Chains A and B, each alone.
Chain A
């Protein structure tokens, strides 16, 4: 079975500072990994995905994520946080080559960027 863990319920960071939101995953085979963001009263919006190749993937709004196979992690990062980045962030996994298309999501991490 596939699973995702987001160990931090909330991350607080000052505007202009770098941010990291942590995610670890568990799958039997190779993973496809995703980050989504949820603003209040909105659905989840796709930020970025990892399929294969370069371990550092870049996505929307200046976000990037680093895939680390040995640590089974896919942490979300941004060099300089904005107040408007404050939202709920979800990591998700899909296992490659199983035919399953459903994503399994983590419990979410609330990012609070202080001015």
Chain B
């Protein structure tokens, strides 16, 4: 069964450092998403990406965040200058957009720890 893959599975970084989280969505999917889950809290929407541009973003997705699809297969989330509160599990998801009801397929997540 096709799956969304994410790397790294766990990254530890110092506050103020830049981090790039990588995702390979399902190959025929058109919509890509990043969500995050702070430990013990809800899964929060960050951003969606379609046709090589951001289609939606939440209030969380401020100027320190950016997304990119650099090569037609990878989908990346960059955090420019990490803060302690960025520590969370980051999930990438994709969907094919074939119906209005949007079934997302999620990756296993990348755990980011900011020290």
A→B interface (CB under 8 Å):
32, 34, 36, 41-46, 49, 51, 90, 94, 96-97, 100-108
B→A interface (CB under 8 Å):
4, 31, 33, 35, 41-45, 48, 50, 55-56, 58, 91, 93, 95, 97, 99-109
Contact A100 B56 (CB under 8 A): yes
Separation in Å of the B114 CB from the closest CB of chain A? Answer: 20
Could you give 25 example pairs across A and B, Cβ below 8 Å? Answer: A32-B102, A36-B106, A41-B108, A43-B93, A43-B107, A44-B93, A44-B106, A45-B106, A51-B101, A90-B43, A94-B102, A101-B31, A102-B48, A102-B56, A102-B58, A102-B102, A103-B45, A103-B102, A103-B104, A105-B35, A105-B42, A105-B43, A106-B42, A107-B42, A108-B43
